[in-house]
Amino acid sequence: MQFVIGWLAFRGLASTKDALFVALDKNTPGHPLSDTGLAKMVRTRAKQANITKPLSPHRIRHSSITAALDAGGAEDESAHQVGDVDDL
């Protein structure tokens, strides 16, 4: 959670409404990132990091939940943190 709070403080430099992820580009900073834009950023960073497996925001989300459960986290707590409380 501390990273989200830090990001919100950092992105305060751009004007936003309700978006968690916003563009910080030079031409139009502050507009909400689309799903496609975020996925493209993830793929670009994965390529730069020499990650050869397909990577997407959903895969990162799934992997973080799996890692938390493997580390002994409670299933209901993991689901709550990612907003899937209805899935249990």
Query: What pLDDT does 67 receive?
Result: 85
Find the mean pLDDT for residues 51-66.
86
Better pLDDT: 71 or 4: 71
**Confidence band (pLDDT; 50, 70, 90) for 87?**
very low
Give the whole-angstrom CA distance, residue 88 versus residue 2. Answer: 26
Better pLDDT: 54 or 74: 54
**Confidence band (pLDDT; 50, 70, 90) for 50?**
very high
- Three-state SS letters, the chain: CHHHHHHHHHHHHCCCCCCCCECCCCCCCCCECCHHHHHHHHHHHHHHCCCCCCCCHHHHHHHHHHHHHHCCCCHHHHHHHCCCHHHC
Instruction: Give helix 35-48 / helix 57-70 axis angle, nearest 10°.
Output: 70
Query: What residue ranges do the domains of the chain occupy?
Result: 1-33, 34-88
